[in-house]
Structure 1
Amino acid sequence: MRRRLTIFGVALVAVAASFVVYAQQASAAVGLHVSGRNIVEANGQQFIMRGVNHPHVWYTGQTRAFADVKALGANTVRVVLGSGKRWGPSSDVANVISLCKANKLICVLEVHDTTGYGEEGAAATLDEAVNYWISQKANLVGQESYISINIGNEPIGNNNPQQWTAATVAAIQKMRSNGFQHLLMVDAPNWGQDWQNVMRDNAQTVLDADTQKNTVLSIHMYAVYSNGQTIIDYLDRFQNAGWPLVIGEFGWQFQSGEVDHETLLAQADARGLGYIGWSWSGNTDPILDMATSFDPNQLTTWGQRIFNGAHGIKATAKEASIYGGVTSPSPSRSSVSPSPSRSASTSPSPSRSASSSPSQGGGKTCTAAYSIVGQWPGGFQGQVLVTAGSSAIAGWTVKWTYANGQTVNTGWSANFSSSGANVTATNVDYNGTVGAGQSTTFGFLGSSSGTNSVPALTCTAR
């Protein structure tokens, strides 16, 4: 939550050391989990968070918010809870999860009491936040496909942010030793903004601390990220290292010097990063409200931009496959192909059919499965799931031939080339390394006319 939007007059520190690629292999894929730098569901389907924060602990009666944000296209809601140290304690966790499931939303549950620890005297420690999760364990176990646990919101302020690493490692390990198998989310220090790069520089240490390799890092972007290049440089570090990241909170540029939300949205879309905007309604600073007085018919400028703007929620959100995977017609990944309007004549028609074919290269194997996740008159969105065989692979090439005149217009998470009906896709730098039996995905927007059959694929590994 942005109770403070301070512009820090500190230049970002350049990193001298190179980063080690973090190729996570979830050891217990019981639900939402990390695969490489992506969040995927238990079935291997990539899930990209597109949603908003809901300040539930302060407005427990505003339960219609879950249905309202879903109706506007969100696939995720980050729910503010209290441990009892400052707010709450939130004793309605089971009901919150039920509301998320009833409205086909993935729930990110977070303890807000940790905000600004070390600088905010009333804040809880991450260890205290973990104790709250342990007290709620009966409501959380069995919900791993529907929720992620964000251990503590913005857990360290600007005083001694270096303590974040040890505190976060200890919190993750305590969650695991108490039997939690959920996707864990951890926020950066510096009130979530990481302007001293503590999370960035210690990301590998934190990720390695998770015995289940099922932790995603979360950056909160406000005034520190007023410059588009700052956003790009920060995201580049994580992408080049192969680390999983979501933008767990951000605002918009409502005045000079505030976050460059347009660059943020475009970059998140192009990179396949999840984002969760702050916040639906009820802020002490109402400029950050997306809806006035929790009314979805009174969207503010910020609300219009995040839900209906370019690279916004309606254009890019895809419902979790655990709920059926209803998708918006075309996530916008570049300016090459504009998003078709969402109307009755262009409603998506998802297809889950797939074709796969293993092939060998140097003794290593992979399979590729093609699916049509949404289509409309004249176009469609496709996705390919690449799975390594019994040995880890260091790169992959997938080829197919269209039978009905389809073409690939633009894509993401792969390098594409076409020659007539023949299409070749190769890995990019961050998703070529795939562990034995693990998967990665890439996607694209294509054109079609009439029949849009699923082609046969070949996959070659190295």
Structure 2
Amino acid sequence: MRQRLTIASAAVLALIAALLVHVLPAHADTGFRVSEGRLVDAAGNDFVVRGVSHPHSWYTQETDSFADIKSLGANTVRVVLSSGDRWEENGPSDVANVVSLCKANRLICMLEVHDTTGYGEESEAATLDQAVDYWLRTQSVLEGEEDHVLVNIGNEPYGNDAAANQNWADDTSEAVQRLRSAGFDHTLVVDAPNWGQDWAHTMREGAQGVFDSDPHANTVFSIHMYGVYEQESVVVDYLEHFTDSGLPLLVGEFGFDHSDGNPDEDAIMHHTERLGLGYIGWSWSGNSEGVDYLDMVEDFDVDSLTPWGERIFHGPDGIAETSVEAPVYGGGEPTDPPTPDPTDEPTEPPAASDCEAVYSVVGQWDGGFQAEVTVTALTDLTGWDTTWTHTGGASVSSAWNASVTQDGPLVRAANVAYNGALAEGESTSFGFTGNRTGTVTVPDVQCAAVS
């Protein structure tokens, strides 16, 4: 047992405690904060970001976009701003109007400076220090908005230049400390280097030091997932590194396709939902020629959703299905999903000698559906293989946690490297999205051991 404190030492501790009452940062009483690796509001309510980026800096006239984004279920909008170092500066009055639009539409504003994109590789890019200068010029309109605004210091602040990336941790820590010293009490969001994708794991390895440098312990890390994240295993490994380390993370940008590869958007959305992490898709509308396939709506028209827009808003683990309005606006737990049709109820096929598999329809929408299969070992397995036959014109379009092939209505799904070995009684699950022309029924799934 610990020895009792002496009267003198107790008095010293009491004096320190009294002093701390006067120096606790404002975020202790108001605004978002990080608690045990999670983003929470002032009352301690968990908040999971679900939103999209809006290119406000280049389309300042498109103010209806805030209401349109909200109408599709988002709880957050990441707003592109310029510090004036590369594009025309969004001044304090413009930023104040953006914040008012967010609040009027019950959205959390994540404000970001875009001029830093690709510093060290992009000659016109601004430094993080210049981004901080901008935030200090804008501070007067952000004070008191800590419960509505997250400050994303600088977008993708380094390209792939190895020498510049070595400075990411020091430069990011310095930016955080400058903002804190100036009185910023907001939750700060910091982007990874390597054009946001952190393929060299600079942020992953340096995140703890950056977090520890924040005197408010209120910094969230942002990974951008494009072509580096083509494989589900890579997505899972990166996300779980942060959750296992107790460090706050969100996917600050991602798409369904990109010039550098084909990101696995299904895995990104599924595993962020599984882990309770936020995500923000890129982007609402107005992308330049060559990357205009990343527009979610055509010409800022909410009634003209693109395939990417349909996927992120209405698909499995999408915004409409998973977003919960911020507690500051009165949001709470998501509403109970509608009672599934009888055809959606899982059925258990007869047990095989080695393993059994249970197929469940998780959700259906016009022309598509999502399903999950749970495999349970009836003896020790080193690998497994499942087969079934779809009806209703159903076919698999993308899958996670299994290697899936199909020949007409016949589907085969086998384990991947990390979930093949199962002890007797142990289970694992895989899922997929699919296309359909009719009603999806639950097929019998055959399961067998493979060596």
**Bucket of the pairwise TM-score, normalised by the shorter protein:** 0.5 to 0.7
Equivalent residue, structure 2, for 1:139 = 141
How far did residue 286 of structure 1 move?
1.1
Alignment of 1:335-414 (within 5 A): 338=362
Alignment of 1:120-131 (within 5 A): 120-131=122-133
For 1:121, the aligned partner's letter is S
Structure with more contact order per residue of length (Cα contacts < 8 Å, sep ≥ 6): 1
Equivalent residue, structure 1, for 2:153 = 151
Equivalent residue, structure 2, for 1:213 = 217
Equivalent residue, structure 1, for 2:36 = 36
The superposition leaves residues 100-132 of structure 1 with CA deviations (integer Å, 9 ceiling, x where unpaired) of: 000000000000000000011111100110010
How far did residue 36 of structure 1 move?
1.2
How far did residue 239 of structure 1 move?
1.1
The CA distance in 2 between the partners of 1:230 and 1:240, in whole Å, is 15
The superposition leaves residues 314-373 of structure 1 with CA deviations (integer Å, 9 ceiling, x where unpaired) of: 0000001110106642589xx9784699xxxxxxxxxxxxxxxxxxxxxxxxxxxxxxxx
Given that residues 26 and 33 in structure 1 are in contact (C-alpha distance below 8 angstroms), is that contact kept between their aligned partners in structure 2?
no
Given that residues 329 and 339 in structure 1 are in contact (C-alpha distance below 8 angstroms), is that contact kept between their aligned partners in structure 2?
no
The RMSD of aligned alpha carbons is 2.1
Question: Which of 184, 193, 197 matches 1:193?
Answer: 197
For 2:57, the aligned partner's letter is V
For 1:223, the aligned partner's letter is G
For 1:30, the aligned partner's letter is T
Alpha-carbon distance change, 135 to 336 in structure 1, aligned in 2, over 3 angstroms: farther
The CA distance in 2 between the partners of 1:239 and 1:86, in whole Å, is 35
Given that residues 272 and 278 in structure 2 are in contact (C-alpha distance below 8 angstroms), is that contact kept between their aligned partners in structure 1?
yes
Question: Which of 301, 304, 324 matches 2:330?
Answer: 324
Equivalent residue, structure 2, for 1:53 = 53
Equivalent residue, structure 2, for 1:227 = 231
Given that residues 40 and 47 in structure 1 are in contact (C-alpha distance below 8 angstroms), is that contact kept between their aligned partners in structure 2?
yes
Equivalent residue, structure 2, for 1:239 = 243
How far did residue 166 of structure 1 move?
0.7
How far did residue 140 of structure 1 move?
0.4
The CA distance in 1 between the partners of 2:258 and 2:214, in whole Å, is 38
Q: What secondary structure, in the 3-state scheme, does the structure 1 residue paired with 2:125 have?
A: coil
Alpha-carbon distance change, 126 to 255 in structure 1, aligned in 2, over 3 angstroms: closer
Alpha-carbon distance change, 182 to 70 in structure 1, aligned in 2, over 3 angstroms: same
The CA distance in 2 between the partners of 1:337 and 1:42, in whole Å, is 38
Q: Are 2:262 and 1:274 aligned?
A: no
Structure 1: runs of 5 or more not aligned: 1-24, 342-462
Given that residues 30 and 181 in structure 1 are in contact (C-alpha distance below 8 angstroms), is that contact kept between their aligned partners in structure 2?
no
The CA distance in 1 between the partners of 2:361 and 2:276, in whole Å, is 17
The CA distance in 1 between the partners of 2:86 and 2:171, in whole Å, is 19
Equivalent residue, structure 1, for 2:108 = 106
The CA distance in 2 between the partners of 1:163 and 1:156, in whole Å, is 9
Q: What secondary structure, in the 3-state scheme, does the structure 1 residue paired with 2:234 have?
A: helix
The superposition leaves residues 108-167 of structure 1 with CA deviations (integer Å, 9 ceiling, x where unpaired) of: 000000000001111110011001000011100000000000000000111121111111
Q: What secondary structure, in the 3-state scheme, does the structure 1 residue paired with 2:90 have?
A: coil
Alpha-carbon distance change, 327 to 297 in structure 1, aligned in 2, over 3 angstroms: farther
The CA distance in 2 between the partners of 1:162 and 1:336, in whole Å, is 47
Q: What secondary structure, in the 3-state scheme, does the structure 1 residue paired with 2:28 have?
A: coil
Q: TM-score, normalised by structure 2?
A: 0.67
Equivalent residue, structure 2, for 1:300 = 306
The CA distance in 1 between the partners of 2:87 and 2:231, in whole Å, is 34
Q: Are 2:317 and 1:311 aligned?
A: yes
Q: Are 2:262 and 1:258 aligned?
A: yes
Equivalent residue, structure 2, for 1:16 = none
Question: Which of 164, 169, 175 matches 1:171?
Answer: 175
How far did residue 257 of structure 1 move?
3.4
How far did residue 236 of structure 1 move?
1.4
Q: Are 2:87 and 1:87 aligned?
A: yes
Alpha-carbon distance change, 256 to 111 in structure 1, aligned in 2, over 3 angstroms: closer
Given that residues 52 and 74 in structure 2 are in contact (C-alpha distance below 8 angstroms), is that contact kept between their aligned partners in structure 1?
yes
The superposition leaves residues 289-309 of structure 1 with CA deviations (integer Å, 9 ceiling, x where unpaired) of: 000000111100000000000
The CA distance in 1 between the partners of 2:171 and 2:40, in whole Å, is 27
The CA distance in 2 between the partners of 1:147 and 1:119, in whole Å, is 30
The CA distance in 2 between the partners of 1:138 and 1:339, in whole Å, is 46
Alpha-carbon distance change, 58 to 255 in structure 1, aligned in 2, over 3 angstroms: closer
Equivalent residue, structure 2, for 1:183 = 187
Structure 2: runs of 5 or more not aligned: 1-24, 339-358, 366-451
How far did residue 253 of structure 1 move?
3.5
Give the count of matched residue pairs: 315
Q: What secondary structure, in the 3-state scheme, does the structure 2 residue paired with 1:136 have?
A: helix
Higher helix share: 2
Q: What secondary structure, in the 3-state scheme, does the structure 2 residue paired with 1:107 have?
A: strand
How far did residue 37 of structure 1 move?
1.5
How far did residue 27 of structure 1 move?
6.7
Equivalent residue, structure 2, for 1:115 = 117
How far did residue 87 of structure 1 move?
1.3
Given that residues 78 and 110 in structure 1 are in contact (C-alpha distance below 8 angstroms), is that contact kept between their aligned partners in structure 2?
yes
The superposition leaves residues 194-218 of structure 1 with CA deviations (integer Å, 9 ceiling, x where unpaired) of: 0000000011000001000000000
Larger radius of gyration: 2
The CA distance in 2 between the partners of 1:253 and 1:330, in whole Å, is 32
The CA distance in 1 between the partners of 2:327 and 2:363, in whole Å, is 22
